[in-house]
Amino acid sequence: MILSDTSFIIATIRAEDKNHQRCREVLKTIRTSFLTTLPCITEAMHLLGVQGQETLRLQIEQGVLNLHTASPQEVKRACALMRIYADSPMDFADASLVVAAEVFNIGRILTLDGHFYAYRINGKTSFEVLP
């Protein structure tokens, strides 16, 4: 399984995004399932607009993109991470992905967000950032 951040989701859907082609090429090389979090989906739906939202809804409905819903303990962990990485700063969507990485023991993430080079899984392990 590989994590997918909002920035990657948007770039794969929006043809006019400067990273669209690069992200679409990376998608062709992934041979595992995709996981994201509800905060990332919420963020993406807000930023995509009506046509992009329909594409994203179809990806969810068809099971292309799997969603993780955080437990109350995971939400608290995300809040703690936001404090730890406040100088980055870390938003809640990013924190939810770090928590998902910890819960599912996932080290790879699809993102265009450079902050993920600084974030650590369980405070120790760095992410393998793609593309």
Give the Cα separation of 30 and 34 in Å (integer): 9
Contact between residue 34 and residue 100 where contact means Cβ atoms under 8 Å apart: no
User: Does 125 score more than 90 pLDDT?
Assistant: yes
**Residue range 36-71, pLDDT digits in tens:** 999 999 999 999 999 899 999 999 999 999 999 999
Does 2-130 carry CATH code 3.40.50.1010? yes
Q: What is the rounded distance in angstroms from the CA atom of residue 42 to the CA atom of residue 126?
A: 25
Question: What are the boundaries of each domain within the chain?
Answer: 2-130
pLDDT at 51: 87
pTM of the model: 0.96
In the block, residue with structure tokens 């179809």: 58
CA 79 to chain CA centroid, nearest Å: 17
Confidence of residue 85 (pLDDT cuts 50, 70, 90): very high
For the stretch 1-33, pLDDT in tens is 999 999 999 999 999 999 999 999 999 999 999
Nearest one of 41, 92, 100 to 74, comparing CA atoms: 100
Condensed to tens digits (0 to 9), the pLDDT of residues 95-120 reads 999 999 999 999 999 999 999 999 99
Rounded to whole angstroms, how far apart are CA atoms 77 and 38? Answer: 15
The distance from CA 35 to its chain's CA centroid, rounded to whole angstroms, is 8
